[in-house]
Amino acid sequence: MPRAQTPLPGQIGRGPASKIVAKRRSRGVGGRSAKPLENVNFWKNGRSGRIRTCDPCVPNAVLYRAEPHSDKRPAYSVGLGAPQAAGLRNFIPVKTGLETLILPAGQAAAEAAARTLGTGGLVAFPTETVYGLGADAANATAIAHLYAAKGRPAFNPLIAHVADLAGAQAIGRFDARALKLAEAFWPGPLTLVVPKTEGCPVADLATAGLDTVAIRIPAHPVAEAILRAFGGAVVAPSANISGHVSPTLAAHVASDLAGRIDLIVDGGPVEVGVESTILGCFDTPMLLRPGGLSRERIEAVLGAALARPPVDAGSDDSQPLAPGMLASHYAPRASVRLDAQDVAPGEALLAFGPARLPGLDAASAVMNLSPSGDLDEAAANLFGHLRSLDAGAPRAIAVMRIPEQDLGEAINDRLRRAAVAR
């Protein structure tokens, strides 16, 4: 685990950090504050604004976002140490200022992406689930930059994306059951966690030192073209700042990561809208994260019920089973109220289905995930609608009840994370 003074990989930038420290000290409010910082009156480059923590439940890496009053571009910083104990002495500014190229999908973009990946660069590209931020899976330095660009806690392992089964078997060992699942659902929104092969080229940094590797073949022509042009495995978490909702449009990626990555390949809106389902191919197959492929469909192929992970998986910081389960992984700025039966004045409503809730007329904004109550449509709209409602800075976002079946399991999982008190 990184210690308080140790920069995350790729994040070095003493000047602004020490200025902040000096200024803070001179005000007599030292770095010993026990609370996350808010309403701080300065930021690097002399901006003023509010600083809020975005990822408060990750023990050793806290992302701060400075929201300037006067300047439209927010700034980010990663503080290391427990969120409750974070002080400005822990601040390490994230390197920004890269020129981010945005290319429309096509052969030229696929080739540019492959070249960029090959030289250790970072490329955002669409998959059928959400946009991913890709780096060469075998290049530890590139992966360090990827963690830095996302402000992501370094213990969180990544999914290796490959173009075909041969690519998957070069990095992971597939027993008969894993092979059956791969054949049934790949390409598609299923990630399989399997033991690494001998000599697996995926960098240890990408697997967080585990002896397993998470693999998937995405079902998206743009992702496939990039993976084929590149030739090797590409690790890709969702292309958002850690703690923000996952991107379903290239514009979402740009709003989080422009200036921090090399290239965004714009392939239009994604189809599924929630991340892949993650299945641990352990002795007992285990659903590590509900996602774009429903539990029911996997169980039908396995002919058996899937085990659930231990209830507290991911709630401590020691090698969680699937750290994506960290309680507040997805976080709009507004607080989120689930299972709403009514709307309070000033709340925004995230609706589902045709019902009209009491108080609807006083809502600050209303978006419907699926007026007809279709769960696939709701999944595709989930992150985009959350972002849109959040952008209006409502008092809170009230969310109507979503049934816990099919993709509803993944939707409710994401909504529960978004609702974790921050």
User: Would you tell me which residues interact with Mg ion (CB under 5 A)?
Assistant: 238
Query: Applying CB under 6 A, which of residues 83, 157, 247, 384 lies at the interface with ligand TXA?
Result: 157
Rounded CA separation 223/265 (Å):
9
Closest CB 266 distance from Mg ion, rounded Å:
19
Q: Rounded to whole angstroms, how far apart are CA atoms 220 and 270?
A: 9
Of 130 and 363, the one with the shorter C-beta distance to Mg ion is: 130
Nearest-CB residue for ligand TXA: 324
What is d(CA 244, CA 272) in angstroms, rounded to the nearest whole number?
Answer: 18
For Mg ion, which residue has the nearest CB? Answer: 238
Return the residues of window 272-311 that contact ligand TXA according to CB under 6 A: 275-276, 278, 288-289
Binding track over 312-331 against ligand TXA, x by CB under 6 A: ---------xxxx-------
- To Mg ion, the closest distance from the beta carbon of 51 in angstroms equals 23
238 or 328: whose CB is closer to Mg ion?
Answer: 238
- Residue 35 CB, shortest distance to ligand TXA, in Å, is 29
Does 215 contact ligand TXA by CB under 6 A? no
What are the beta bridge partners of residue 348?
Answer: 365, 397
Residue 304: what residue type?
Answer: A
**214 part of the interface to ligand TXA, by CB under 6 A:** yes
β-strand partners of 398: 337, 349
Nearer Cβ to ligand TXA, position 116 or 364? Answer: 116
- Burial (0-12, 13-18, 19+ Cβ within 10 Å), 33: middle
Cα 58 to Cα 8: distance, rounded to the nearest angstrom:
14
Residues 6+ apart with CB under 8 A from 119: none
Task: For residue 187, state whether it binds ligand TXA (rule: CB under 6 A).
Answer: no
Residue 166 CB, nearest approach to Mg ion (Å) = 27
Regarding 191 and contact with ligand TXA (CB under 6 A), the answer is yes
Considering only 236, 250, 396, 400, the residue that binds ligand TXA (CB under 6 A) is 236
169 membership: H or E segment, kind and range: helix 165-171
Query: Residue 154's closest CA among 3, 32, 269?
Result: 3
Question: What's the closest the beta carbon of residue 237 comes to ligand TXA, in angstroms?
Answer: 3
Q: By C-beta, is 58 or 88 nearer to ligand TXA?
A: 58
| The binder of ligand TXA chosen from 90, 139, 212, 328 (CB under 6 A) | 212
Exposure pattern of 149-164 as b/e (b: 16+ CB <10 Å)? bbbbbbbbbbbbbbbe
DSSP helix/strand/coil, 348: strand
Q: Measured between alpha carbons, how far is residue 413 from residues 59, 67, 111, 230, 373 in Å?
A: 21, 28, 36, 33, 18
Q: How far apart are CB 152 and Mg ion at their closest, in Å?
A: 8
Residue type at 82 in one-letter notation? A
Residue 90 or 242 having the CB closest to Mg ion: 242
From 412, 365, 329, select the one nearest 152 (Cα to Cα). 329
Least distance (Å) between residue 47 CB and Mg ion? 28
Of 363 and 382, nearer to ligand TXA (C-beta) is: 382
The C-alpha atoms of residue 278 and residue 189 are separated, in whole angstroms, by 9
Least distance between ligand TXA and beta carbon 289 (Å) = 6
Q: Does 158 bind ligand TXA (CB under 6 A)?
A: yes
Number of residues interacting with ligand TXA: please give it, by CB under 6 A: 28
Residue 378 is a binding residue for ligand TXA (CB under 6 A): no
Tell me which of ligand TXA, Mg ion, none is bound by residue 212, counting a contact when its beta carbon lies within the kind-specific cut-off of 5 to 8 angstroms. ligand TXA
CB of 293 to ligand TXA, least distance (A): 10
Q: Which two tokens stand for residue 44?
A: 């690097």
314: left (phi over 0), alpha (psi -120 to 50) or beta: left
Residues near ligand TXA, by CB under 6 A: 127, 129-130, 132, 156-159, 191, 193, 207, 210, 212-214, 218, 236-238, 275-276, 278, 288-289, 321-324
